Amino acid sequence: MKKISKLRKGFDLEERTFNFAKNIRDYCDKLPKTITNIEIAKQLMRAGGSIGANYIEANEALSKKDFIMRIKICRKEAKESRYWLRLSLSKESEKRIQETLIDEATQFIKIFNSIIQKSV
Tell me whether residue 72 is in a domain: yes
pTM exceeds cut of 0.85: yes
Tell me whether residue 7 is in a domain: no
Mean per-residue pLDDT, 55-67:
95
Tell me whether residue 3 is in a domain: no
CATH number at residue 58: 1.20.1440.60
Q: What is the pLDDT of residues 73-114, one digit of tens each?
A: 999 999 999 999 999 988 888 899 999 999 999 999 999 999
Number of domains in the chain: 1
- For the chain, the DSSP string reads -TTHHHHTT---HHHHHHHHHHHHHHHHHHS---HHHHHHHHHHHHHHHHHHHHHHHHHT-SSHHHHHHHHHHHHHHHHHHHHHHHH----GGGHHHHHHHHHHHHHHHHHHHHHHHHH-
